[in-house]
Chain A
Amino acid sequence: MFHWLEQRPFFFAVMLFLTVAFAGFIEIVPDFAKASQPTVGTKPKTVLELAGRQVYIKDSCNACHSQLIRPFKSETDRYGMYSLSGEYAYDRPFLWGSKRTGPDLHRVGNYRTTDWHENHMLAPADVVPGSIMPKYPHMFTNKADIATAYANANTQKSLFGVPYDKEGMTKLGSWEEAKAQALEDAKKIAADMKNQEVKDAVAKGEVPEIVALIAYLNSLK
Protein backbone atom coordinates (compact mmCIF):
# COMPACT_ATOMS: atom_id res chain seq x y z
CA MET A 1 0.00 0.00 0.00
CA PHE A 2 2.78 2.42 0.91
CA HIS A 3 4.53 1.89 -2.38
CA TRP A 4 1.27 2.54 -4.20
CA LEU A 5 0.79 5.77 -2.26
CA GLU A 6 4.32 6.94 -2.93
CA GLN A 7 3.57 7.04 -6.64
CA ARG A 8 0.33 8.99 -6.24
CA PRO A 9 1.06 12.34 -4.59
CA PHE A 10 -2.60 13.34 -4.33
CA PHE A 11 -3.68 10.31 -2.34
CA PHE A 12 -0.44 10.46 -0.41
CA ALA A 13 -1.22 14.02 0.65
CA VAL A 14 -4.80 13.12 1.62
CA MET A 15 -3.68 10.14 3.73
CA LEU A 16 -0.99 12.28 5.29
CA PHE A 17 -3.39 15.06 6.19
CA LEU A 18 -5.89 12.68 7.77
CA THR A 19 -3.18 10.99 9.81
CA VAL A 20 -1.89 14.31 11.07
CA ALA A 21 -5.26 15.98 11.67
CA PHE A 22 -6.80 13.05 13.53
CA ALA A 23 -5.20 13.77 16.90
CA GLY A 24 -6.16 17.43 16.92
CA PHE A 25 -9.73 16.58 16.11
CA ILE A 26 -10.07 14.07 18.96
CA GLU A 27 -8.25 16.23 21.50
CA ILE A 28 -9.52 19.69 20.90
CA VAL A 29 -13.09 19.56 19.69
CA PRO A 30 -14.82 17.81 22.63
CA ASP A 31 -13.61 20.26 25.24
CA PHE A 32 -14.42 23.52 23.58
CA ALA A 33 -17.91 24.09 24.92
CA LYS A 34 -17.14 23.03 28.46
CA ALA A 35 -13.93 24.84 29.27
CA SER A 36 -15.10 28.32 28.41
CA GLN A 37 -17.65 28.60 31.25
CA PRO A 38 -16.63 31.38 33.63
CA THR A 39 -16.23 30.71 37.33
CA VAL A 40 -18.87 32.41 39.49
CA GLY A 41 -17.64 35.91 40.36
CA THR A 42 -15.32 36.25 37.38
CA LYS A 43 -15.93 39.61 35.74
CA PRO A 44 -14.72 40.96 32.42
CA LYS A 45 -11.81 43.41 32.72
CA THR A 46 -12.44 47.15 32.73
CA VAL A 47 -11.17 49.24 29.83
CA LEU A 48 -8.24 50.54 31.90
CA GLU A 49 -7.31 47.00 32.98
CA LEU A 50 -7.51 45.81 29.39
CA ALA A 51 -5.27 48.69 28.33
CA GLY A 52 -2.83 47.48 30.99
CA ARG A 53 -3.15 43.94 29.72
CA GLN A 54 -2.18 45.25 26.27
CA VAL A 55 0.90 46.88 27.80
CA TYR A 56 1.72 43.54 29.44
CA ILE A 57 1.54 41.91 26.01
CA LYS A 58 3.34 44.74 24.18
CA ASP A 59 6.35 44.34 26.45
CA SER A 60 6.06 40.52 26.49
CA CYS A 61 5.89 40.24 30.28
CA ASN A 62 4.64 36.72 29.57
CA ALA A 63 8.13 35.83 28.30
CA CYS A 64 9.27 35.62 31.94
CA HIS A 65 6.12 35.50 34.08
CA SER A 66 3.50 32.79 34.20
CA GLN A 67 -0.13 33.23 35.18
CA LEU A 68 -0.84 29.65 36.08
CA ILE A 69 -0.61 28.34 39.62
CA ARG A 70 -0.26 24.58 39.57
CA PRO A 71 -2.02 22.46 42.19
CA PHE A 72 1.05 21.80 44.36
CA LYS A 73 1.46 22.85 47.96
CA SER A 74 4.74 24.58 47.12
CA GLU A 75 2.88 26.74 44.60
CA THR A 76 -0.25 27.48 46.60
CA ASP A 77 1.95 28.42 49.58
CA ARG A 78 3.90 30.80 47.40
CA TYR A 79 1.26 32.26 45.10
CA GLY A 80 -2.17 31.45 46.57
CA MET A 81 -5.07 29.27 45.41
CA TYR A 82 -4.31 27.14 42.34
CA SER A 83 -5.76 28.41 39.06
CA LEU A 84 -9.17 27.34 37.80
CA SER A 85 -10.17 27.05 34.17
CA GLY A 86 -13.20 29.32 34.55
CA GLU A 87 -11.08 32.20 35.81
CA TYR A 88 -9.63 32.49 32.33
CA ALA A 89 -12.96 32.47 30.52
CA TYR A 90 -12.62 36.07 29.29
CA ASP A 91 -8.89 35.94 28.56
CA ARG A 92 -8.21 36.59 24.88
CA PRO A 93 -5.44 35.62 24.42
CA PHE A 94 -4.57 33.46 27.44
CA LEU A 95 -1.39 34.56 29.23
CA TRP A 96 -0.20 31.47 31.07
CA GLY A 97 3.37 31.85 29.85
CA SER A 98 5.80 28.96 29.65
CA LYS A 99 8.75 30.12 31.70
CA ARG A 100 9.22 31.53 35.20
CA THR A 101 12.31 33.63 34.96
CA GLY A 102 10.32 35.77 37.38
CA PRO A 103 7.54 34.63 39.73
CA ASP A 104 3.97 33.73 38.80
CA LEU A 105 1.57 36.69 38.63
CA HIS A 106 -1.85 35.08 38.52
CA ARG A 107 -2.80 36.45 41.97
CA VAL A 108 -0.24 39.24 42.29
CA GLY A 109 -3.05 41.70 43.08
CA ASN A 110 -3.50 39.95 46.43
CA TYR A 111 -0.06 40.73 47.78
CA ARG A 112 1.45 43.68 45.88
CA THR A 113 0.35 47.31 45.89
CA THR A 114 0.30 50.23 43.46
CA ASP A 115 3.19 51.77 45.35
CA TRP A 116 5.24 48.57 45.17
CA HIS A 117 4.74 48.24 41.40
CA GLU A 118 5.60 51.89 40.81
CA ASN A 119 8.99 51.52 42.47
CA HIS A 120 9.58 48.09 41.06
CA MET A 121 8.87 48.85 37.41
CA LEU A 122 11.25 51.80 37.56
CA ALA A 123 14.16 49.92 39.13
CA PRO A 124 13.43 46.28 40.01
CA ALA A 125 16.78 45.62 41.67
CA ASP A 126 16.22 48.49 44.13
CA VAL A 127 13.09 46.80 45.39
CA VAL A 128 14.23 43.20 45.10
CA PRO A 129 18.03 43.07 45.43
CA GLY A 130 19.48 40.62 42.94
CA SER A 131 16.56 40.97 40.52
CA ILE A 132 17.48 40.50 36.87
CA MET A 133 14.32 42.11 35.53
CA PRO A 134 14.85 45.01 33.09
CA LYS A 135 13.85 48.52 34.08
CA TYR A 136 10.73 49.89 32.40
CA PRO A 137 11.00 53.68 32.68
CA HIS A 138 9.40 54.15 29.27
CA MET A 139 6.10 53.02 30.74
CA PHE A 140 6.04 56.24 32.76
CA THR A 141 6.08 58.39 29.61
CA ASN A 142 4.41 56.24 26.93
CA LYS A 143 0.64 56.62 26.81
CA ALA A 144 -1.65 53.63 27.13
CA ASP A 145 -3.95 52.94 24.19
CA ILE A 146 -7.37 53.38 25.79
CA ALA A 147 -9.16 53.52 22.43
CA THR A 148 -7.86 50.11 21.39
CA ALA A 149 -8.68 48.73 24.81
CA TYR A 150 -12.25 49.92 24.29
CA ALA A 151 -12.35 48.28 20.85
CA ASN A 152 -10.97 45.15 22.49
CA ALA A 153 -13.74 45.11 25.11
CA ASN A 154 -16.44 45.95 22.63
CA THR A 155 -15.29 43.15 20.30
CA GLN A 156 -15.53 40.73 23.21
CA LYS A 157 -18.99 42.01 24.02
CA SER A 158 -20.39 42.14 20.49
CA LEU A 159 -18.77 39.09 18.99
CA PHE A 160 -18.21 36.68 21.84
CA GLY A 161 -21.09 37.63 24.15
CA VAL A 162 -18.82 38.60 27.04
CA PRO A 163 -21.25 40.03 29.63
CA TYR A 164 -20.23 43.69 29.70
CA ASP A 165 -23.08 46.00 30.79
CA LYS A 166 -25.01 43.06 32.28
CA GLU A 167 -26.29 43.39 35.80
CA GLY A 168 -23.53 43.09 38.39
CA MET A 169 -20.92 42.98 35.64
CA THR A 170 -18.34 45.49 34.38
CA LYS A 171 -19.81 48.57 32.70
CA LEU A 172 -18.66 49.42 29.21
CA GLY A 173 -21.16 51.74 27.49
CA SER A 174 -20.25 54.03 24.61
CA TRP A 175 -16.72 55.13 23.75
CA GLU A 176 -17.21 58.49 25.48
CA GLU A 177 -18.58 56.89 28.64
CA ALA A 178 -15.83 54.27 28.66
CA LYS A 179 -13.13 56.88 28.16
CA ALA A 180 -14.43 58.94 31.06
CA GLN A 181 -14.63 55.85 33.26
CA ALA A 182 -11.08 54.77 32.33
CA LEU A 183 -9.78 58.20 33.23
CA GLU A 184 -11.58 58.14 36.53
CA ASP A 185 -10.08 54.70 37.31
CA ALA A 186 -6.67 56.04 36.28
CA LYS A 187 -7.01 58.91 38.75
CA LYS A 188 -7.56 56.46 41.59
CA ILE A 189 -4.38 54.62 40.69
CA ALA A 190 -2.40 57.86 40.23
CA ALA A 191 -3.53 59.05 43.66
CA ASP A 192 -1.55 56.18 45.19
CA MET A 193 1.54 56.98 43.11
CA LYS A 194 4.22 59.54 43.80
CA ASN A 195 5.69 60.21 40.34
CA GLN A 196 4.75 63.83 39.61
CA GLU A 197 4.87 63.51 35.82
CA VAL A 198 2.42 60.63 35.95
CA LYS A 199 0.10 62.56 38.22
CA ASP A 200 0.26 65.61 35.92
CA ALA A 201 -0.42 63.53 32.83
CA VAL A 202 -3.47 61.92 34.41
CA ALA A 203 -4.70 65.33 35.55
CA LYS A 204 -4.46 66.45 31.91
CA GLY A 205 -6.60 63.50 30.84
CA GLU A 206 -3.81 61.23 29.61
CA VAL A 207 -3.12 57.72 30.84
CA PRO A 208 0.54 56.69 31.05
CA GLU A 209 1.19 52.98 30.39
CA ILE A 210 2.34 52.40 33.97
CA VAL A 211 -1.07 53.43 35.35
CA ALA A 212 -2.92 51.00 33.09
CA LEU A 213 -0.43 48.23 33.82
CA ILE A 214 -0.78 48.68 37.56
CA ALA A 215 -4.57 48.66 37.22
CA TYR A 216 -4.24 45.34 35.40
CA LEU A 217 -1.78 43.82 37.89
CA ASN A 218 -4.00 44.89 40.79
CA SER A 219 -6.94 43.15 39.13
CA LEU A 220 -5.11 39.80 39.10
CA LYS A 221 -6.55 38.08 42.15
Chain B
Amino acid sequence: MFYYVDVSGADLKPDSFEELAMPLFDQLFNFARWMTQNREEAEDLVQETYTKALKGFSSFQLGTNFRAWMYRILRNTFLTSRTGLKVTMTVPLDTEEGGPEFAIESDTPETLMFERSNRELLQGAMDELPINFREILLLCEVEEMSYQEIAETLSVPIGTVMSRLSRARRALRDRLRAPLQKSGTAGIAKGTVTKGTNHGL
Protein backbone atom coordinates (compact mmCIF):
# COMPACT_ATOMS: atom_id res chain seq x y z
CA MET B 1 0.00 0.00 0.00
CA PHE B 2 1.33 3.44 -0.91
CA TYR B 3 0.76 6.74 0.79
CA TYR B 4 1.47 9.39 -1.77
CA VAL B 5 0.21 12.78 -0.75
CA ASP B 6 -1.34 14.64 -3.63
CA VAL B 7 -2.89 17.49 -1.70
CA SER B 8 -1.90 21.07 -2.30
CA GLY B 9 0.32 22.90 0.14
CA ALA B 10 -2.64 24.78 1.52
CA ASP B 11 -4.19 21.51 2.61
CA LEU B 12 -1.23 20.39 4.67
CA LYS B 13 -2.78 21.05 8.04
CA PRO B 14 -2.25 19.18 11.28
CA ASP B 15 -5.60 17.45 10.79
CA SER B 16 -4.43 15.94 7.54
CA PHE B 17 -1.27 14.86 9.31
CA GLU B 18 -3.32 12.91 11.81
CA GLU B 19 -5.36 11.35 9.02
CA LEU B 20 -2.24 10.28 7.21
CA ALA B 21 -0.08 9.32 10.15
CA MET B 22 -2.37 7.44 12.51
CA PRO B 23 -3.11 4.57 10.09
CA LEU B 24 0.63 3.89 10.15
CA PHE B 25 0.71 3.66 13.93
CA ASP B 26 0.60 -0.14 14.29
CA GLN B 27 3.16 -0.85 11.62
CA LEU B 28 5.50 1.89 12.82
CA PHE B 29 5.31 0.45 16.32
CA ASN B 30 6.02 -3.04 15.01
CA PHE B 31 9.03 -1.73 13.10
CA ALA B 32 10.23 0.30 16.10
CA ARG B 33 9.90 -2.73 18.36
CA TRP B 34 11.96 -4.87 15.98
CA MET B 35 14.61 -2.16 15.81
CA THR B 36 14.86 -1.42 19.52
CA GLN B 37 14.02 -4.93 20.77
CA ASN B 38 12.44 -3.26 23.79
CA ARG B 39 8.83 -2.22 24.31
CA GLU B 40 9.46 0.96 26.27
CA GLU B 41 12.12 2.15 23.87
CA ALA B 42 9.82 1.39 20.95
CA GLU B 43 7.06 3.49 22.52
CA ASP B 44 9.48 6.38 23.09
CA LEU B 45 10.71 6.04 19.53
CA VAL B 46 7.22 6.08 18.02
CA GLN B 47 6.24 9.01 20.22
CA GLU B 48 9.30 11.00 19.19
CA THR B 49 8.74 10.10 15.54
CA TYR B 50 5.21 11.47 15.57
CA THR B 51 6.29 14.61 17.39
CA LYS B 52 9.07 15.27 14.88
CA ALA B 53 6.86 14.44 11.93
CA LEU B 54 4.14 16.77 13.14
CA LYS B 55 6.66 19.56 13.60
CA GLY B 56 8.12 18.98 10.17
CA PHE B 57 4.86 18.31 8.37
CA SER B 58 4.81 21.77 6.82
CA SER B 59 8.14 20.98 5.18
CA PHE B 60 6.96 17.61 3.88
CA GLN B 61 7.52 17.67 0.14
CA LEU B 62 4.44 17.17 -1.94
CA GLY B 63 4.43 14.27 -4.33
CA THR B 64 6.81 12.27 -2.18
CA ASN B 65 5.96 9.17 -0.28
CA PHE B 66 4.49 9.91 3.13
CA ARG B 67 5.00 6.39 4.45
CA ALA B 68 8.66 6.39 3.45
CA TRP B 69 9.00 9.84 5.04
CA MET B 70 7.59 8.59 8.36
CA TYR B 71 9.80 5.51 8.35
CA ARG B 72 12.80 7.66 7.53
CA ILE B 73 12.12 9.91 10.52
CA LEU B 74 11.67 6.90 12.78
CA ARG B 75 14.86 5.32 11.49
CA ASN B 76 16.91 8.51 11.81
CA THR B 77 15.58 9.02 15.32
CA PHE B 78 16.50 5.46 16.22
CA LEU B 79 19.99 5.73 14.73
CA THR B 80 20.77 8.78 16.83
CA SER B 81 19.50 7.15 20.01
CA ARG B 82 21.86 5.43 22.40
CA THR B 83 20.59 1.99 21.42
CA GLY B 84 20.79 2.85 17.74
CA LEU B 85 24.35 4.05 17.97
CA LYS B 86 25.31 0.94 19.89
CA VAL B 87 23.86 -1.48 17.36
CA THR B 88 25.23 0.36 14.35
CA MET B 89 28.74 -0.06 15.75
CA THR B 90 28.61 -3.72 14.74
CA VAL B 91 26.85 -3.44 11.40
CA PRO B 92 28.70 -5.16 8.55
CA LEU B 93 29.66 -2.95 5.66
CA ASP B 94 27.68 -3.14 2.44
CA THR B 95 29.48 -4.44 -0.56
CA GLU B 96 28.14 -4.77 -4.03
CA GLU B 97 29.79 -8.16 -4.39
CA GLY B 98 26.78 -10.09 -3.24
CA GLY B 99 27.19 -12.86 -5.75
CA PRO B 100 24.27 -14.86 -7.04
CA GLU B 101 22.44 -17.33 -4.90
CA PHE B 102 21.84 -20.70 -6.42
CA ALA B 103 19.50 -23.51 -5.62
CA ILE B 104 20.83 -25.50 -2.75
CA GLU B 105 21.10 -29.12 -3.59
CA SER B 106 20.12 -30.25 -0.12
CA ASP B 107 17.37 -29.49 2.34
CA THR B 108 16.98 -25.75 2.27
CA PRO B 109 16.05 -23.54 5.20
CA GLU B 110 12.88 -22.70 3.30
CA THR B 111 11.73 -26.28 2.99
CA LEU B 112 12.67 -27.03 6.56
CA MET B 113 10.87 -23.91 7.68
CA PHE B 114 7.84 -24.80 5.62
CA GLU B 115 7.64 -28.26 7.09
CA ARG B 116 8.16 -27.20 10.64
CA SER B 117 6.27 -23.93 10.54
CA ASN B 118 8.64 -22.72 13.16
CA ARG B 119 7.76 -19.09 13.47
CA GLU B 120 9.59 -18.61 16.72
CA LEU B 121 12.77 -19.93 15.21
CA LEU B 122 12.44 -17.48 12.35
CA GLN B 123 11.74 -14.61 14.72
CA GLY B 124 14.78 -15.55 16.75
CA ALA B 125 16.93 -15.62 13.63
CA MET B 126 15.58 -12.21 12.58
CA ASP B 127 16.34 -10.85 16.04
CA GLU B 128 19.93 -11.94 15.65
CA LEU B 129 20.43 -10.31 12.27
CA PRO B 130 22.52 -7.13 12.11
CA ILE B 131 20.23 -4.12 12.28
CA ASN B 132 20.65 -3.09 8.62
CA PHE B 133 19.69 -6.58 7.45
CA ARG B 134 16.74 -6.81 9.83
CA GLU B 135 15.32 -3.45 8.83
CA ILE B 136 15.56 -4.06 5.09
CA LEU B 137 13.87 -7.46 5.39
CA LEU B 138 11.05 -5.92 7.40
CA LEU B 139 10.57 -3.10 4.92
CA CYS B 140 10.53 -5.48 1.96
CA GLU B 141 8.65 -8.49 3.29
CA VAL B 142 6.48 -7.13 6.09
CA GLU B 143 5.79 -3.61 4.85
CA GLU B 144 5.89 -4.78 1.24
CA MET B 145 7.70 -1.65 0.17
CA SER B 146 9.01 -1.39 -3.38
CA TYR B 147 12.76 -1.07 -3.87
CA GLN B 148 12.20 2.61 -4.64
CA GLU B 149 10.35 3.14 -1.35
CA ILE B 150 13.04 1.30 0.57
CA ALA B 151 15.69 3.41 -1.12
CA GLU B 152 13.82 6.56 -0.04
CA THR B 153 13.39 5.30 3.49
CA LEU B 154 17.00 4.27 3.95
CA SER B 155 18.42 7.13 1.84
CA VAL B 156 20.49 4.74 -0.26
CA PRO B 157 20.57 3.97 -4.01
CA ILE B 158 18.39 1.18 -5.38
CA GLY B 159 21.50 -0.85 -6.21
CA THR B 160 22.39 -0.85 -2.53
CA VAL B 161 18.85 -1.93 -1.65
CA MET B 162 19.19 -4.93 -3.96
CA SER B 163 22.61 -6.00 -2.75
CA ARG B 164 21.78 -5.45 0.91
CA LEU B 165 18.53 -7.36 0.57
CA SER B 166 20.34 -10.24 -1.05
CA ARG B 167 22.89 -10.31 1.74
CA ALA B 168 20.17 -10.06 4.37
CA ARG B 169 18.32 -13.03 2.92
CA ARG B 170 21.50 -15.05 2.75
CA ALA B 171 22.36 -14.15 6.35
CA LEU B 172 18.91 -15.23 7.48
CA ARG B 173 19.16 -18.51 5.61
CA ASP B 174 22.56 -19.16 7.14
CA ARG B 175 21.22 -18.51 10.61
CA LEU B 176 18.27 -20.79 10.04
CA ARG B 177 20.15 -23.63 8.44
CA ALA B 178 22.22 -24.67 11.45
CA PRO B 179 19.51 -24.83 14.14
CA LEU B 180 16.95 -26.25 11.77
CA GLN B 181 19.19 -29.02 10.62
CA LYS B 182 20.23 -29.71 14.18
CA SER B 183 16.75 -29.79 15.65
CA GLY B 184 15.09 -31.19 12.56
CA THR B 185 17.29 -34.20 12.04
CA ALA B 186 14.57 -36.60 13.08
CA GLY B 187 12.02 -35.18 10.69
CA ILE B 188 14.48 -35.11 7.83
CA ALA B 189 15.59 -38.66 8.51
CA LYS B 190 12.01 -39.79 8.16
CA GLY B 191 11.95 -38.24 4.72
CA THR B 192 9.41 -35.56 5.49
CA VAL B 193 11.53 -33.11 3.52
CA THR B 194 12.95 -34.13 0.22
CA LYS B 195 15.43 -32.51 -2.07
CA GLY B 196 13.93 -30.02 -4.44
CA THR B 197 10.50 -30.55 -3.03
CA ASN B 198 7.81 -28.88 -5.05
CA HIS B 199 4.73 -29.53 -3.00
CA GLY B 200 2.03 -27.19 -4.02
CA LEU B 201 3.30 -26.46 -7.49
- Chain A complexes with chain B: no
